[in-house]
A and B are shown apart, each in its own frame.
Chain A
């Protein structure tokens, strides 16, 4: 059997983490191709449904990443994301997912190196967790 390569969906905010991803790209910081970005305007617009949808559609992990606390382009959207992630963690466990499949990080616009490190760390972590429980969840 082939080695497991996870697929990760990242919901990132346009102002901080997406910009950091651009910066990491411009600086040619090699990252695992297993993480794919969905550009949002703010982490505060990430509906918990999106996370569940991603996990049920085959993603092995979901990253939500936005501006550092206090630095939100929209005043406090990232705090709302933080609250939702907290609740989502509980819901995911109820669904049968390992709650570590969802991760929330803050990566500021100038932190290209931090973005690349976050991607690689996330891929490592999810690889260690193994394939998503989605098949089992859907069979229920």
Chain B
């Protein structure tokens, strides 16, 4: 039976029709072999657009459909579902893009129309060789793996566990809580960070459905959506978690002191330590790099003192493997190290701090018990806050970190609040970005508290007779100002984790230009990734404040949960098939397959694809010397015909003659341009 192809050319409002002569493309399509009907319409993806396709399939007996509109990455599923509703196998459909790759990027309308015709001709040629394919249904393991236990990871774990699913929550650090646990207050409400995050930390540790693994890292992921196997490396803590009571005696007597990471270098910790007295789990860990005993020297003081015998220097790292259906990454951010910005004197002058260091200084359980003071213990009489350090800077990170304006305002308020109104606070900003709920109001409030705002990016911070002097062009006054201050706070950028590339590879996801993890779609898929079943939560996807991170996390939890709760997932049937009649049994595909999905049938002397393991990458098909291996939907025949359609009428005719190369049947009756169907 000859194919009856329907071609649908979308205007996409003026997005396509503004450049491409869509009626002309539809007219051209009517002349292509096998095309029974070709229409153009304002919005193909709309209800009437889809209805039009469904009606044509039914009434005109179409057995192939081509839609030329936006990128298939956006609406392929939409139209496949429309075909399905009309009783047509969704793989007898081809979507081709004349928007992102044609109308939006071509300067000249005639050329765009010409290109659109080629694109449509290729799709029509190819669809002739499509086969009906049937998706495979696989079970989804109900458990979820959450990586990172900051505020976003904790939110994900709580949301999912409360829905009745088991969560494996893996945290790299010795305790959970992430950056939020280091903060004192949160903007704009000035909620105490501990008051709102510690209950969450405790809830996580007490939730029976959450398997909390601290001091652990995911080292390997295998499998596919719904059926992942994760390997987690649990680092030796040298403290038996079951025996330890968290009394803290060991930490008091440990002779080794090193700068504390949790205190951002503002305080010290011992070699056996916990981040704070409120840590969850509230049990210490031995830092093997600094411990005297583990370093081969004579010590073991902690072991002698421990009343419960919990110290175990013989602990070894463990590899734990677990089956999960979906994965949520909530690996967070790093704080930009301002050392490369030497002009601000970080690391050179005692009283130049990063924002995170100031958070610790200001924190009630921080190194100064919350007293804002200089290195010499005195109260600063004036403080300069430099915004956008490392962000909005093409030398470092071009993006805006989205939180610095607001936390700077929080510092403004807290400094005035704690040190008194006579303390002068100067903000050096480029633009104030106070876009969230209640943020602009908070900005106004801080302005009214008498904080100074100087618009400009400071040139340098110098030390003049024991005073720090900030030199800056005030771009509103148009002159250079020199502001003497006692303390400088640098609002450092939020950056991707230093090992983000490594993590991206482990999980098979991508990074954006800014090196944060890349979401599936910037607007419509902000929590999913290109890899099915792997989702993003919080700042690993881009800078976020706490409300946004929590909202993002709940979104990710919901998406992971929708897969887990449904319990099954359809797997694309566009996988490899090796024709046993053609296969010569050379076995070269077997070693090529990255998924070990091809086995050799010794009896028949042919290679056989294991359909459950094949992902359809086509390594075998691209190589097979006899052409026996073919990827369904991307068969050699489809690609060859696609090429012939793409190159038809060449070499290089002007637009008009392309149409002439495919004479248009005059008596084409049902091919009328659809008018407001």
- Cross-chain contact A84 with B105 (CB below 8 angstroms): no
- Cross-chain contact A109 with B518 (CB below 8 angstroms): yes
- Which residues of chain A are near B605, meaning CB under 8 Å? none
- Cross-chain contact B651 with A131 (CB below 8 angstroms): yes
- Cross-chain contact A38 with B640 (CB below 8 angstroms): no
- Which residues of chain B are near A57, meaning CB under 8 Å? 643-644, 647, 650
Q: Which among A9, A42, A44 is the interface contact of B643 at CB below 8 angstroms?
A: A9
Closest to A108 in B: B510
- Which residues of chain A are near B644, meaning CB under 8 Å? 57
A17-25, A89-97, A98-106: which lies at the interface: A17-25
- Which residues of chain A are near B164, meaning CB under 8 Å? none
Q: Mark A114-132, 1 if CB is under 8 A from B, else 0.
A: 0010000000000000010
- Cross-chain contact B72 with A44 (CB below 8 angstroms): no
Known contacts A41-B618, A45-B621, A73-B530; decide if A50 and B99 are in contact (CB<8 Å). no
Let me know if B577 is at the binding interface, CB within 8 A. no
CB-CB contacts below 8 Å: B634-673 with A: 634, 636, 639-640, 642-644, 646-647, 650-652
Let me know if B619 is at the binding interface, CB within 8 A. yes
- Cross-chain contact B640 with A36 (CB below 8 angstroms): no
Known contacts A36-B115, A41-B616, A42-B617; decide if A49 and B634 are in contact (CB<8 Å). no
CB-CB contacts below 8 Å: A16-67 with B: 16, 18-19, 21-22, 24-26, 28-31, 33, 36-42, 44-50, 53-54, 57-59, 67
Q: How far is the CB of B93 from chain A (nearest CB, A)?
A: 14
CB-CB contacts below 8 Å: B457-491 with A: none
Known contacts A40-B618, A45-B617, A110-B512; decide if A33 and B106 are in contact (CB<8 Å). yes
Let me know if B122 is at the binding interface, CB within 8 A. yes
Known contacts A9-B646, A15-B510, A39-B72; decide if A49 and B636 are in contact (CB<8 Å). yes
- Which residues of chain B are near A59, meaning CB under 8 Å? 643, 647, 650
Q: How far is the CB of A25 from chain B (nearest CB, A)?
A: 3
Q: How far is the CB of B399 from chain A (nearest CB, A)?
A: 12
- Which residues of chain A are near B73, meaning CB under 8 Å? 14, 18-19, 22
Total contacting residues, chain B, CB less than 8 A = 56
- Cross-chain contact B651 with A7 (CB below 8 angstroms): yes
Total contacting residues, chain A, CB less than 8 A = 56
- Cross-chain contact B622 with A38 (CB below 8 angstroms): no
Q: How far is the CB of B641 from chain A (nearest CB, A)?
A: 10
Known contacts A18-B73, A39-B72, A54-B643; decide if A77 and B619 are in contact (CB<8 Å). yes
Report the separation of the CA atoms of residues A106 and B492 in the bound assembly, to the nearest whole angstrom: 32
Q: Mark B48-77, 1 if CB is under 8 A from A, else 0.
A: 000000000000000000000001111000
Given contacts A29-B105, A50-B639, 12 further A-B pairs with CB under 8 A are A9-B647, A16-B510, A21-B101, A25-B100, A30-B106, A31-B105, A31-B106, A33-B114, A37-B101, A58-B651, A59-B643, A71-B505
Top 3 A-B pairs ranked by shortest CB distance? A45-B618, A25-B100, A74-B617
Chain B interface residues toward A at CB < 8 A:
71-74, 97, 99-102, 104-108, 111-112, 114-115, 118-119, 122, 504-505, 508, 510-513, 518, 530-531, 574, 592, 594-595, 615-619, 621-623, 631, 634, 636, 639-640, 642-644, 646-647, 650-652
Chain A interface residues toward B at CB < 8 A:
2, 4-5, 7, 9, 14-16, 18-19, 21-22, 24-26, 28-31, 33, 36-42, 44-50, 53-54, 57-59, 67, 70-71, 73-77, 80-81, 84, 108-111, 116, 131
